[in-house]
Structure 1
Amino acid sequence: MPHLPDDNAWLLAERKAIGDRIRVERLRQNRTQESIFLAARVGRTTYQGVEAGTLDARIGTLLRIARVLGIHPADLLR
């Protein structure tokens, strides 16, 4: 079994990378955060935390955001 780091630096980096992918796609579409969180039916604070990479997102939240952005959910995790 591979050894995993004791700290959460890798988790924070992955969260940030997912948020960055969301932000890049949103800006590519010239959309506001508000237009996304309203269409995805996600709370403002939740959406902002996901996009900033400071909040652990539930899979349902990521699925809703991906759908609104018109991208495959796996694209957020790559």
Structure 2
Amino acid sequence: MPTLPDDDSWLLEEQRAIGDRIRVIRIRQDRTQESVFLAARVARSTYQAIEAGTADARVGTLRRIAHVLGVHVTDLLHG
């Protein structure tokens, strides 16, 4: 069975990668952060933290963001 590192640095790296994927998709679609967080019904600060990779987003929130961006949630998680 795989083991996790003793620290949570791997989690922070994953959060940043998810945020980067969201930002890249949003920019490719020529959308603003505001258009995405309003359509996804996510608070501005929450969305900004997710995209910046500083928040550990809930699955439901990621699913709403993915839906608004027209991608599957796995595209955000595994890019």
Per the TM superposition, whether the score is higher than 0.5 is yes
> Displaced runs of 4+ in structure 1, greater than 2 A?
none
Question: Which consecutive unaligned segments of at least 5 residues does structure 2 have?
Answer: none
Structure 2 matches for 1:48-63, cutoff 5 A?
48-63=48-63
Question: Which consecutive unaligned segments of at least 5 residues does structure 1 have?
Answer: none
Structure 2 matches for 1:12-23, cutoff 5 A?
12-23=12-23
1:2 maps to 2:10:
no
- Give the TM-score taking structure 1 as reference length: 0.96
Q: What is the Cα-based RMSD across aligned positions, in Å? A: 0.7
1:28 maps to 2:28:
yes
Q: Percent identity?
A: 72
- Give the TM-score taking structure 2 as reference length: 0.95
Question: How many equivalent pairs are there?
Answer: 78
Per-residue deviation at 1:65?
0.2
Give the secondary-structure state (helix, strand or coil) at the position aligned to 2:75.
helix
Quote the residue 2:64 is aligned against: 64
Measure the CA separation in 1 of the matches of 2:73 and 2:7: 27
